[in-house]
Amino acid sequence: MSKKKLEVGDAIPKFELKDSNSKLVSIDTIIGSKNIVIYFYPKNETKVCTAQACSFRDNYEEFQDLECEVIGISSDNEESHKNFAKNHNLPFILLSDSANKVRKEFGVPKDMMGLAPGRYTYVVNKEGKIIYIFNSALNAKIHIKKSIEALRSSTYL
């Protein structure tokens, strides 16, 4: 039986994953102190995923001004994340979900053709509750715009 997709108002599941430096990151260390944008993406160094990551990078200061941490999650391993972050000067957290465990806990489906992992973004308030969910497989840059709009307009922050 598959897990239901998370919805606005739901608390995000607690999880721990390794970052690009093979350090275990617990979401509990961020909840309570910052808002969070968690974005699931298919693969490092692909055209659309790179555009999305670079767009988050280019707007990272604005996310910081909104007391928000950005976290990118894919099934790529820590070494791949390390290289991806270095190649594109990414200042935010990249986590390795090699078993797709966290992706499943969030209920993130595959893309519309069922071939690749889906591209979903969750905007989460400091209490760990989802205030906005967005998905778009092909227009990755819009995830950043939608996330900033949600953070600015939310009454849940």
Domains, the chain, ordered by start: 16-152 (3.40.30.10)
Per-residue confidence (pLDDT) for residue 118, from 0 to 100 = 80
Active site residues: 49
For residue 63, count CB atoms less than 10 angstroms from its CB and return exposed for 0-12, middle for 13-18, buried for 19 or more. buried
Residues 5 and 47: their CA atoms lie apart, in Å, by 27
pTM, two decimals, is 0.91
Eight-state DSSP code of residue 102: H
Residues 56 and 64: their CA atoms lie apart, in Å, by 11
What pLDDT, in 10s, does the model give residues 86-126?
999 999 999 999 999 999 999 997 765 556 678 899 999 99
Determine contact, residues 157/151, Cβ cutoff 8 Å. Answer: yes
